[in-house]
Amino acid sequence: MSVSEMFAALQGALGQDQDIREEIRKVVQALEQTAREILTLLQGVHQGPGFQHISKKCQKAREHFGTVRTQMESLKTKFPADQYYRFHEHWRFVLQRLVFLAAFVVYLESETLVTREAVAEILGIEADRERGFHLDIEDYLSGVLTLASELARLAVNSVTAGDYSRPLRISAFINELDSGFRLLNLKNDSLRKRYDGLKYDVKKIEEVVYDLSIRGLNKEATVSAGGEK
């Protein structure tokens, strides 16, 4: 084979690879749009009237996740099944965002932490690497850390809306989450940096709880915490 023939073959391989990346990019753009729509919907819970319609917003969000599952099915067909990590960077960010959104919905519904397996089911992908397109553990953890930041914001806005018991429940949840992360030996630089931000979320929520205490609202909050969430 001549040099020109060798490079012609290489160009063919490069062209094929670029075609795959372009097809992936199109689906990822669609996923990003759906994620924005879900985020816009859920942001309504931070506003006063939004606290009264949390269940409806979560229901609508789950309907959007039906679109996500369809788009994920399309994404799976755009590259060879054994080359997941070769193209992983193309959808890493949007997948982490979708994990956060799924975790936020589950928290708003039940005030519990969604499992990686449950998130994978919501997104229509696998939890186990061996089964194909899957939810990487680090992507799951990154999404959970984003949830912590969102809940810190929700704690502040809950007080503004007159819901004094929610910050107490959020505080308990975030502290438990922080304890869980302390059990992990995080070596991924990006994930480690994001985890370092969790302590600021914990501090922010503690300040909200402390403010409720000095204003004498913690007693009302404690009583309310035993009632409807």
Q: Which residues are annotated as a binding site for Mg(2+)?
A: 150
Phi, psi of 126 (to 5 degrees): -95, 155
Residue in the structure block whose two tokens are 């097809």: 23
Contact between 141 and 182 (Cβ < 8 Å)? no
Give the DSSP H/E element, type plus range, for residue 65.
Answer: helix 54-76
Specify binding-site residues.
150
Query: Looking at beta carbons, which pairs linking 218-222 to residues 24 or more positions away fall under 8 Å?
Result: 218/164, 218/168, 220/164, 220/165, 221/164, 221/165, 221/167, 221/168, 222/165, 222/168
Whole-number Å distance between alpha carbons of 13 and 155: 52
Find all residues with CB under 8 Å of 104, minimum gap 6, and list them: 42, 147, 150
Whole-number Å distance between alpha carbons of 155 and 46: 9
Token duo for residue 147? 């949830």
Residues paired with residue 126 on neighbouring β-strands, in sequence order: 134
Find all residues with CB under 8 Å of 41, minimum gap 6, and list them: 57, 60, 61, 64
